Amino acid sequence: MDGWRRIACLVLAALAMAVGVTALAAPQAQAQPFGAHTCASGFVWREAFAGDLVCVTPQARTTARNENAAGPANTAPGSQFCRSGFVWREARPSDLVCVVPAARSRVYTENYNAAVNLANPAGLGRTLPVSVGTRSDSLQRYITASGSGVSASGRVDFWGIGLVPGRLAWLGSATSNGSGAFGPVDIRSVRCPVDGPDSMAVVAVDQRTGRVTAAGSTWAYSC
């Protein structure tokens, strides 16, 4: 009987250890449940349209869903244009849901903050052909940017990772032409000496869609 008790105790101890290991490992496994587009704590995907991964507050996602439901009633009969007092929301250029003007301003701000509200923007891959570079003269250095495949006649914002501890640093912006291309263009000048990282990763945001992409790195602050 003592032998059976000893075996039972060993089995229970092994099970307890396995449960403990699983409990410790679970937070790591769930840290990025949605890949590179996992939102920071307190934020969720907006889902104003299929594939909309802009991170917003839960209330903003509910608002977007309510706007989608009310959109047809705010549209002039027999057309895609809005009734008087309403405008297209434009969370992306093809988003023609009719909303009040304040709602269009809201999604513009949400798109602007698309990179800021990600859990780990440094983990993004390059999903758009957008990149930054560095050039210098005798007085200062310049962060340059170029790209294509973004929204036509729109703004592309660039954010540095690691320049300011714990948050992204806005570096500058570029404006695309009617074909969705821009640059090379200087988006920021850095006068030396300055205490910064030897190499800083940069992400870019297509303002008209909220789409975020890695954009390479710059050594402009390493002086």
Q: Is the pLDDT of residue 142 over 70?
A: yes
Is the domain 123-218 a CATH 2.60.40 member? Answer: yes
The span from the CA of 207 to the CA of 194, in Å, is: 29
Domain locations along the chain: 44-112, 123-218
Q: Please tell me the pTM assigned to this model.
A: 0.83
pLDDT one-digit tens code per residue, 104-133: 999 999 999 999 999 999 999 999 999 999
The pLDDT of residue 195 is: 82
Q: Is the pLDDT at 13 greater than 70, yes or no? A: no
Output Rg (C-alpha) for the chain, integer angstroms: 24
Angstrom distance (rounded) from CA 98 to CA 222? 48
Q: Would you place residue 11 in the very low, low, confident or very high pLDDT band (cuts 50, 70, 90)?
A: very low
State yes or no: pLDDT of 30 exceeds 60: no
Task: Find the mean pLDDT for residues 40-64.
Answer: 97
